[in-house]
Amino acid sequence: MENRWIRAAIPALLIHCSIGTVYCWSTFKEAIGVEIGMSTFALGWAFSLAIFFLGMSAAFAGKIVELNIHLSSLISCICFTVGMIGTGITIKFFTGIPALILIYIFYGCIMGIGLGIGYLTPVKTLMLWFKENKGLATGISIMGFGLAKAIATPIMEFLQNRFGISMMFIILGVVYFGMMFLGHLLLKKPAGWVESKATNNSFKSITMFKNKTFIGIWLIFYLNIHCGLMLITYEKQLLNSKFAGLAALAMIVAIVPSVTAICNALGRIGYSTVSDKLKDRATIYIIIFISCIVICLLSFSIHWAPLIIVLLMIVNLGYGGGFSTLPALLDSRFGMENISKIHGLALSAWAIAGITGNNLSEIILDASNKNYNIIIITAAGLYALALIICLLLVKERKSAKV
């Protein structure tokens, strides 16, 4: 059983393909709203809370993950599935404000904690087993997180139609418990690798936020997620605005989300694999930012509807690639000793972006009478800022290990 695929890749996929279903939110949010009698706007904060607690739990759980991946994988399994099942029970027995609060607690807080710890747990183990291909290894796992939406969406729609929205959550909660618990049992670091308690205890999070290289990585990671969410969370609305009046609109709106979900997953495996061949891991972020700037400017200036599909595809590629390349980039700058803790701290950027990304778009749309071009040009400006930060702060050098 001491095989890197059985002990690292498969359990990582089992965990990430389960927790990645958080991005299926748009599939069932309207059904939840109807069932409990609340607006989708009010419900939207459940998703924002899930992403916030994902990032913050990852930031604070790094020491646990570093020393005991079996404890962290079990915590993730329990929190994520309790969040899912608790959401289903809430929808079945509660309505109105009480239901909304309980969904915030179960889907937002408890499930969010499971998301963050589960996201972080397999990453270092993969990098230890795949020493020569760290980008490929993390890309495989994190691709599962991105691909989960494409896999789970039709299953969720079937379960909703057959059993109702509340039973969908309960059934999937049980299924995901089985998948994540199997991942928990299989996951194991290579024989002979022992974490140092002294090194773990001596690590101080505050020192990272005094390091210019880490600050630069944190900022480019944050801006990439923020810009991605600005556009990805309004995918359906962007398509409706650009293809308004076209007979094939319904088909486009139905097909494109699956295409962009695949692009998100391909970006995770593709960009991270390419990074293994490059002299400097940060080059991938430069490629992502330049490609996103160019397509945003083209989409803003050329009023040709199909360009919006290309925009969404390229942004999804870069969004996914930014996640999968991050662990290996951090390793190239700070080494492996404290990588789980450093990666967790970097994921706090995800928590903040989960709140600011789609909400900035909402503010812009309210102020501009739903002018989606303003969102696109704003994203271009922020991608340009990320490119400048990457070139200035994320330099090709080995920082002192922390």
* 198 domain residue, yes or no: no
End position of a domain, from candidates 159, 188, 217: 188
Query: What domain count does the chain have?
Result: 2
Same domain, 225 and 274: yes
Q: Which of 21-35, 297-311, 315-329 has the lowest mean pLDDT?
A: 21-35
Last residue of a domain, which of 128, 158, 188?
A: 188
- Residue 15 has φ and ψ, to the nearest 5°, of -75, -50
Q: What number is the average pLDDT over the span 81-105?
A: 97
pLDDT digits (tens, 9 = 90+) for 52-75: 999 999 999 888 898 899 999 999
- pTM for the model stands at 0.88
Per-chain mean pLDDT for the chain: 91
Query: In this structure, what CATH number is given to the domain that contains residue 14?
Result: 1.20.1250.20
Alpha carbons within 13 angstroms on the beta-carbon side of residue 340 total 27
- pLDDT tens-digit profile of 232-287? 888 888 888 888 878 888 888 888 888 888 899 899 999 999 999 998 999 999 99
Sign, Cα dihedral of 149, 153, 154, 155? positive
Phi, psi of 211 (to 5 degrees): -95, 120
Are 170 and 106 found together in one domain?
yes
Structure confidence at residue 354 (pLDDT):
87
Residues 227 and 323 reside in one and the same domain: yes
Residues 331-354 have a mean pLDDT of 92
Cα angle 277-279-280, degrees, rounded to a multiple of 5: 110
Q: What is the pLDDT of residues 33-48, one digit of tens each?
A: 999 999 888 898 898 8
| 347 and 248 within one domain | yes
Query: Could you tell me if residue 195 is inside a domain?
Result: no
Q: Are 343 and 212 contained in the same domain? A: yes
Question: pLDDT for 178-233, tens place per residue?
Answer: 999 999 999 999 987 777 676 667 788 889 999 999 999 999 999 999 999 999 88
The identity of residue 192, as a single letter, is: G
Residues 176 and 317 grouped into a single domain? no
Burial-class residue 337 by CB neighbours within 10 Å (0-12, 13-18, 19+): middle
Domain boundary pick from 139, 161, 188: 188
- Residue 399: pLDDT band by 50, 70, 90 thresholds? very low
Question: In this structure, what token pair is assigned to residue 47?
Answer: 């998703």
Q: Judge if 293 and 217 occupy the same domain.
A: yes
The answer to whether position 196 is within a domain reads no
Tell me the one-letter amino acid at 97: I
Element (H, E) at 182: helix 165-186
Place of tokens 């927790």: 19
Given a cut of 80, is residue 30 above it in pLDDT? yes
Binning the chain into helix, strand and coil, the percentages to the nearest 5 are 85, 0, 15
Same domain? 257 vs 313: yes
CB 59 within 8 A of CB 344: yes
Query: What is the token pair recorded at 250?
Result: 């319904």
Q: Which domain holds residue 391?
A: 205-396
Residues 155, 300, single domain; the answer is no
Q: Is residue 353 part of a domain?
A: yes
Query: For residues 374 and 355, what is the distance between their CA atoms, to the nearest angstrom?
Result: 19
Same-domain status, 290 and 363 = yes
